[in-house]
Structure 1
Amino acid sequence: MKTNTIFNTLIRVSFIAVTVFFAACSSDDGIKFTPGQDGFFIVNEGGFGNGNASLSFYDKTSASVTNNLFESTTGKPLGDQAQSMTVYNDFGYIVVQNSAKIEVISTDDYSLVATISEGLPSPRYFLGINASKGYVSDWGADGSTGTIKVIDLTTNTVTKTISTGSGTNQLVLVGNHVFAANSGGWSNDNSVVVIDADTDEIIETITVGDNPSTLVVDEDNDVWTTGTGQTVYNTDWSVNTEESTPAFLAKIDHEDFEVTLKIDAPSVGMGPAGLKVDSNGSTLVFKYDGSIFSTDTETVSSTDDFTKIIETDFIYGLSIDASENHIILGISPDYTNPGSIKRYDITGSFIDEHTVGIGPNGIAY
């Protein structure tokens, strides 16, 4: 997953913080699976530059995974670096960043409906607005000129571009307002922009902290974000602590567009990252200091309120299956061999593990 932190790793030998979405189901027996109710898709990012992204599906009835769903159904490979997937109005929108496209599949039979490739140099996340319109965040050809592409869902074409910031990443919809996190991409940013989904115009730019990447909405419709901060290195590759900034967790009031809480990590490079929220909208789950932590949205005020709930190796993706309130971890020991998903209940109790594709980074249903 080419997040700002991975780019910082490649460019500045920084830490890795990742985010999410997952894939696919078997229809060999003619039975239609309902995403969420009967299972969830798993997105396997693949090794960057290798063109081996894939889609899997976890079937809740059989407690088993079907792999390589997209290729076996459509007869073509998914592409290079599957970043995310969103299910919206019975269609699955699979965003394949390094292949500069979105593959649209039917959730009825997993057949290919359309490929959107014009006007998407570096797409990241899809958000459905209404039956005829969707938004896609995009990093631009230079990896930092962030935009949101407006998609006509009736023709599956890009109709408009909204300039947003650097490395525009995750999107959430609250009422008719879209919040978009500018993660910095190849550069840096510190803002979340708010867009009127009726007019496609930016109505507010909120300064939150360096390189915000993930967004979730709580039970009160307020928006939470995590940012990776910025790690600055000296010429000898030691960390310049004076110029570096820590990762953070922040809360944005959805009506006033003001930051009402900001918690900085105690040291550079710790997290939090990969933010998710439980099905009740009251518990935040995120990666922090190499493990999975949670906290309550109503009472959190400092890192002392973070509770470690899962400790395991090679965590790459983090998601919540809201239909059962389960935590789904994507486990990726490397980027050449198959990874796995691990399922836990919301308290962190282990349920099971299944082999999937390379680099599992999230789920969709």
Structure 2
Amino acid sequence: MPDVPPVQHAVDGLFVVCNGNYLAGNGSLSYYTPSDNSVENNVFERANGMKLGDTAQSMSIDGETGWICVNGSNVVYAIDVNTYKVKGHVTDIASPRNALVVGDHKMYVTALYDNRIAIVDPATYSVTGHIEVPGMDAATGSTEQMVKVGDYVYVNCWSYQKEILKIDTRNDKVVDRIEVGIQPQSIAYDRNNNALWVLCDGGGYATNPIGYEAPSISRINLGTFKVESTIGLAQYSSVSHLRYYNGNLYWLENGVQRMSTNAAEAPAEAFIPTESYSLYALDINPANGDIYVGDAIDWQQAGAVTRYNSSGEKINSFSTGIIPAGFCWKFGK
């Protein structure tokens, strides 16, 4: 086995979760430091002597622990965010999508093709129970991203669904649900307006059993848990990765779109246009508004991330693993 260079310990920066190719087991984790424009690829394997797995999906951080959902390998890894070393793992969840620590001894994990959300004890890495989702069967069940506001967690039900769930973390029950557009792909919390913004992809194809319509963005008032407004997007457009920053919404749609939360209609042109057909990840640096866009390129070679300033001007690009699909920020104490 060839010598593997030692991994450099992390400083404040950005984790990039790379899917890898489905069934190839080549998902990976990269780490980028904006202050010196340095990137380290494959840090999980280099730190642990084993591959991350099949279809790495997402990452979240709680304290000094990073939680990485590896969808195709049916595992959630806990790593030390400073050394990338594995601290433990959860294995009793099929197709985990996102993990969110909601209390001192409790974490929720969403899943694809399941009508339940797993409840995990982060200290023991064990599944202690499930949150049943009403009206959803296991074959087409889908829970995706989570946002915690106070005692409640809000969840978008994406694949073959059209609902947002409201879960009370004190009793782990779905206490309300609201219908939005077809296939709510991503959600973003707007603290200034106590609102949850929802990006719906419209179903993606004409024969989708749940329906097919133009994509849309809806605003939910979290005080009333009612849809306050909906803005239609272009028919047949591919949309994903809704983000909120400083009074604006950002998402992928023929480049990067930006829209004020006070807007009455969708923007007429992209904020950051592109000729790429393979943009696959988006995030905003909450410290300075820099925009990060992941590009899968041809879905086979190493991907790339391009960084723009808040005015949409390119700063730099860097290479990652195959199919950069998600970002997770690490900040100092």
> Is the structural similarity TM-score above 0.5?
yes
What letter is aligned with 2:225? F
* Pairing 1:267-306 to 2, within 5 Å after superposition: 267=235, 269-278=236-245, 280=246, 282-288=247-253, 290-297=254-261, 299-303=262-266, 305=267
Give matches, 1:59-70, under 5 Å.
Answer: 59-70=33-44
Aligned residue identity for 2:150: G
The correspondence of residues 1-365 of structure 1 with structure 2, limited to 5 A, is 28=7, 32-34=9-11, 38-118=12-92, 120-139=93-112, 143=113, 145-164=114-133, 165=136, 166-184=141-159, 188-218=160-190, 219-231=192-204, 233=206, 244-267=212-235, 269-278=236-245, 280=246, 282-288=247-253, 290-297=254-261, 299-303=262-266, 305=267, 308-312=270-274, 313=276, 314-365=278-329
Contact 1:53 1:82 (C-alpha < 8 Å) held by counterparts: yes
CA contact (8 A) 2:14 2:33 kept: yes
Q: For 2:44, what is the secondary structure of its paired residue?
A: helix
Alpha-carbon distance in structure 1 between the residues aligned to 2:251 and 2:311: 13
Closer, same or farther in 2 for the Cα pair 1:161/1:346, shift >3 Å?
same
Deviation per CA, 1:129-178, whole angstroms, max 9, x where unpaired?
A: 12211111111xxx3x3321111111111111112243111111111111
Shift of 1:271: 4.2
Q: After TM superposition, give the deviation of residue 335 of structure 1 in Å.
A: 2.2
- Structure-1 separation of matches of 2:221 and 2:6: 44
Distance in 2 of aligned mates of 1:216 and 1:163: 23
Give the counterpart letter for 1:277 in structure 2: Y
How many residues are aligned here?
315
Calculate the TM-score normalised by the size of structure 2: 0.90
Q: Is the 8 A contact 2:181 2:216 kept in 1?
A: yes
* Residues 1:146 and 1:349: Cα distance change in structure 2 (over 3 Å): farther
SS of residue in 1 equivalent to 2:144: strand
Report the Cα offset of residue 363 of structure 1: 1.1
Three-state SS of the structure 2 residue aligned to 1:339 is strand
Contact residue 7 and residue 43 of structure 2 kept, 8 A = no
Structure 1 residues 302 and 97: CA distance shift in structure 2, 3 A: same
**3-state secondary structure, aligned to 2:237:** coil
- Shift in CA distance, 323/162, structure 1 to aligned 2, threshold 3 Å: same
Contact 1:294 1:307 in 2 (8 A): no
Q: Note closer, same or farther for the CA distance 1:352–1:232 as it changes in structure 2 (3 Å cut).
A: closer
Aligned mates of 2:293, 2:43 — CA distance in 1: 20
Gaps of 5+ in 1: 1-25
Measured after TM superposition, the shift of residue 95 of structure 1 is 0.4
Q: Residue 74 of structure 2 aligns to which amino acid in structure 1?
A: A
Matched-pair contact (CA < 8 Å) for 1:340–1:355: yes
**Identity %, equivalent residues:** 27
Deviations 1:15-37, CA, capped at 9 Å, x for gaps? xxxxxxxxxxx9756xx534xxx
CA deviation digits over 1:76-99, x for unaligned, max 9? 100000010111111010100010
Do 1:39 and 1:59's aligned partners in 2 also have CA atoms closer than 8 Å?
yes
Q: Deviations over 1:320-357 (max 9, x none)?
A: 12122111111111222101110011221101000110
> Aligned partners of 2:268 and 2:229: how far apart in 1?
15
Structure 2: distance between partners of 1:308 and 1:28 = 38
Aligned 8 A contact 1:45 1:361 in 2: yes
Code of the residue aligned with 2:281 in structure 1: it is G
Q: In 1, are the aligned partners of 2:241 and 2:282 still within 8 Å (CA)?
A: yes
CA distance in 2, matches of 1:251, 1:152: 33
Cα offset for 1:265? 2.1
The aligned amino acid for 1:125 is: N
Following TM superposition, the consecutive aligned residue runs of length 4 or more in structure 1 with deviations greater than 4 angstroms are: 26-29
